[in-house]
Amino acid sequence: MDSQSAIKPYVIGLDLGGTNSVFGIVDSRGDIKATTAIKTQGYDHVDDYVAASIEALQIIIDQVGGIDKIKAMGIGAPNSNYYTGTIEKAPNIVWAKQTVPLAKLFSDKLGIPVAITNDANAAAIGEMAYGVARGMKNFIVITLGTGVGSGIVVNGQLVYGSDGLAGELGHVTMVRENGRSCGCGRTGCLEAYCSATGVARTAREMLQSSDEPSLLREMDPEAITSLDVSLAAGRGDALAHRVFDFTGRMLGEACADFATFCSPEAFIFFGGLTKAGDLLMRPLREAYDAHVMNVFKGKAKFLLSGLDGSSAAVLGASAIGWDIQK
Amino acid sequence: MDSQSAIKPYVIGLDLGGTNSVFGIVDSRGDIKATTAIKTQGYDHVDDYVAASIEALQIIIDQVGGIDKIKAMGIGAPNSNYYTGTIEKAPNIVWAKQTVPLAKLFSDKLGIPVAITNDANAAAIGEMAYGVARGMKNFIVITLGTGVGSGIVVNGQLVYGSDGLAGELGHVTMVRENGRSCGCGRTGCLEAYCSATGVARTAREMLQSSDEPSLLREMDPEAITSLDVSLAAGRGDALAHRVFDFTGRMLGEACADFATFCSPEAFIFFGGLTKAGDLLMRPLREAYDAHVMNVFKGKAKFLLSGLDGSSAAVLGASAIGWDIQK
């Protein structure tokens, strides 16, 4: 910690989701000192969203001793670009259907530096600042939620690429022939198989393609979630186990490819699907060991996020604030 | 250029191949001021190889005004590790079947800093120092020779990864079922299809699987090289064209995956197979455009090396020398 952060001991984190916007004021150890939240929707214009945010923020800023105690703000948000500080055409946010300069709008109001990136990049910086990647210079965070995201750190720096949008490992092509359709408009992407929705889809496909008994047959197929598959596997359901074997193996093969890129010290998994634990992680590690190049074998660690819990996304976002002035 | 490089205007580059070791003394513009070479083989011990190298080098060092004019030395060599300065078990070099600390051995004899990396990483640094990547901070060099190698630059720095061995994009898995065997001991790697030897293999497979007339049928199938395929395509041979279509398309699909990682400003192709020109590059670009994520579409440049020619490998190696003291 430098002398600056002793004088300004806090950063603001904003986890900007499709439904809620959660703010936290965080110290350098990752302790959350104060939180507040507003609805993300219900504003026609980004200026109204920012004004409502500032109004809510002012209360918790005062709680920690005023804006002079705050070094910077980090925002984790969908479709956001670190280089330009903008959210670019986020389809699910009414006031961001066009490109909006959200970082600048907050910075102008608060008088502190503000940076923005997507949630997976925020998670990666969060793991480096407060989580299991402290001290690591080369690692990959893979977020397993509704989609599959990634945040990649090389030489201690987040990989933003030439345009600010790098780190989309959920969209490498894993199945080149007759692959599943993906939300990105293409087919065969890792995300189409290994997201929470991909797991549910795999379960439906396995149920349809056989008459094998399964606890999941008691449910409406369209209502099956990855949590249901996980619970069924926990009760010994063989088909549910095979769903996680399939998912873990594909993730392991994908990670073997990722190793050729940046030979990470660790792969760190983040998000709802990681609650499946060894159901997912055992076949993942086995497939990795079976497929990775010999020179990389046995080197990478496979870790679960050190930021898990309800505040993980806010912590990740706040960590971008520490990163700005490096 | 800093004041140091005005006083010490040169670096030494060593292109250490399986047959020959070529040395060059190079200035900051990439002009080669003097060259020499020795055989790589014929020494039982690495000390003998280094002694013979120094003897040959001393003559060209004297030509440029002595060792005081030389800032550093860079070595491009197979199986080499930037972090440890070693060649690790190079199967084709008698004196390097065990791990040898080649950078330190040269540094001790010459009294200047010495760094070592593989030829693809050397090519990437060479493109940044003297070639088509001048001014770029994010790009990927792909070497298409006997094998497929890669050198990846992110945020202006080469990606060495946690162990010094990152950047092996020739060994991402492109064919997951019944893939060709690869020299790395695995199957389905990009290199097994898109190296010069992979091109020849594709030609043999296409010749075997049909009776289609082809100029290549006049040859002993086992003797066909990628150059023969290129020459046949140049004479209008349809089968030879399809070999390059297949190769270019697979490279384009692979590059679409690589874009998700680091969203490079450019893909730069280097090595013998690039002589095929548009035979290879047209299907490559078409497949990339068809497969890359929408957010990256139309952004990356596809370039041929700016270091082409007989001295490219020495230039690449020398550029590591400039990079050491950054």
Confidence of residue B6 (pLDDT cuts 50, 70, 90): low
Each residue of B238-276: pLDDT tens digit? 999 999 999 999 999 999 999 999 999 999 999 889 999
pLDDT at res. A1: 46
Which residues on chain B place their C-beta less than 8 Å from a C-beta of chain A? Answer: 136-139, 152, 154-155, 157, 159-163, 165-176, 184-186, 253, 256-258, 260-265, 291, 293-296, 299-300
Query: Considering only alpha carbons, which residue of chain B is nearest residue A182?
Result: B293
> Which residues of chain A are within 8 Å of residue B166 when distances are taken between CB atoms?
138, 260-263
Task: Give the per-residue pLDDT at B325.
Answer: 56
Whole-number pLDDT of residue B20? 92
- A254-280 residue pLDDT tens: 999 999 999 999 999 998 899 999 999
- CB contact at 8 A, B215 and B232: yes
**pLDDT for position A3:** 52
What share of chain A in percent tops pLDDT 70? 97
Closest by CA to B270, choosing from B138, B87, B139, B92, is: B139
- If you count residue pairs, one on A and one on B, with CB atoms under 8 Å apart, how many are there? 130
**How far is Cα B256 from Cα A291, in angstroms, rounded to an integer?**
21
Residues 6+ apart with CB under 8 A from B101: B84, B85, B86
Evaluate whether B124 touches B130 at the Cβ level (below 8 Å).
Answer: no
Given a cut of 90, whether residue A18 has pLDDT beyond it is: no
Using CA atoms, how far apart are residues B326 and B321, in angstroms rounded to an integer? 10
User: In this predicted complex, what is the ipTM?
Assistant: 0.92
- Asked if residues A182 and A191 have their Cβ atoms less than 8 Å apart, the reply is yes
Q: How many CB atoms lie within 10 A of CB B63?
A: 12
Per-range mean pLDDT, top range of B80-89, B93-102, B197-206: B197-206
What is the rounded CA–CA span in Å between residue B81 and residue B115?
9
Residue A35 has pLDDT above 50, yes or no: yes
Give tens-digit pLDDT for A88-122: 888 788 899 889 999 999 999 999 999 999 989 99
pLDDT for res B5: 53
Token readout for B54 is 């120094």
Chain A CB contacts of B165 below 8 Å: 263, 295-296
Residue B97: what pLDDT? 87
Single pTM value for the model:
0.93
Q: Which residues of A touch B (CB under 8 A)?
A: 136-139, 152, 154-155, 157, 159-163, 165-174, 176, 184-186, 253, 256-258, 260-265, 291, 293-296, 299-300
Mean pLDDT within A309-323: 88
pLDDT confidence band for B196 (50 / 70 / 90): very high
The pLDDT, as a whole number, for residue A52 is: 97
Q: Give the CA angle between residues B70, A155, B312 to the nearest 5°.
A: 40
What residues contact residue A98 under an 8 Å CB cut-off, 6+ apart? Answer: A89
Which amino acid is present at A86?
T
Contact A155 B152 (CB under 8 A): no
Average pLDDT, integer, range B7-31? 94
Query: Which one of A88, A99, A249, A263 would you mutate to disrupt binding with B, by most B Cβ within 10 Å of its Cβ?
Result: A263
Q: From start to end of chain B, where are the E strands?
A: 10-16, 20-27, 32-39, 70-76, 80-81, 86-87, 114-117, 139-144, 148-154, 157-158, 266-270, 301-304
Query: Residue B2 above 70 pLDDT?
Result: no
Distances B273 to B143, B146, B214, B270 between C-alpha atoms, Å: 9, 9, 21, 8
The Cα–Cα gap between B90 and A1 comes to 44
Give pLDDT tens digits for A167-222.
999 999 999 999 999 999 999 999 999 999 999 999 999 999 999 999 999 999 99
Q: Which two tokens stand for residue B262?
A: 């680091």
> Which residue bears the tokens 């205007």?
B9
Chain B residues with CB under 8 Å of A162 CB are 136-139, 263-265, 299-300
pLDDT at A15 > cutoff 50: yes
* Interface probe with B: pick from A84, A171, A260, A302, most Cβ of B within 10 Å: A260
Instruction: Round to whole Å and give the CA distance between B60 and B69.
Output: 12
Q: Torsion angle, CA of A322/A325/B4/B6, rounded to 10 degrees?
A: 130
Determine the pLDDT at residue A103. Answer: 97
Candidates A172, A260, A296; nearest CB to B260? A172
State pLDDT tens for residues A223-254: 999 999 999 999 999 999 999 999 999 999 99
Contacts of residue B162 in chain A, CB cutoff 8 Å? 136-139, 263-265, 299-300
pLDDT at B152: 98
Residue A154 half-sphere exposure, CB side, CA atoms within 13 Å? 28
8 Å CB contact between B225 and B273: no
The per-residue pLDDT for B1 is: 46
Report phi then psi at B133, rounded to 5: -100, 15
Window from A253-257, B2-6, B156-160, B306-310 with minimum mean pLDDT: B2-6
For chain B, give the number of residues.
326
The overall average pLDDT reported for chain A is 94
Percent composition of chain A: helix, strand, coil (DSSP 3-state, to 5): 45, 20, 35
Closest residue of A to B167, CA-based? A261
CB A250 within 8 A of CB A174: yes
Q: Is residue B212 predicted with pLDDT exceeding 50?
A: yes
CB contact under 8 A, B261 and A167: yes
Cα(B77)–Cα(B80) distance, rounded to whole angstroms?
A: 6
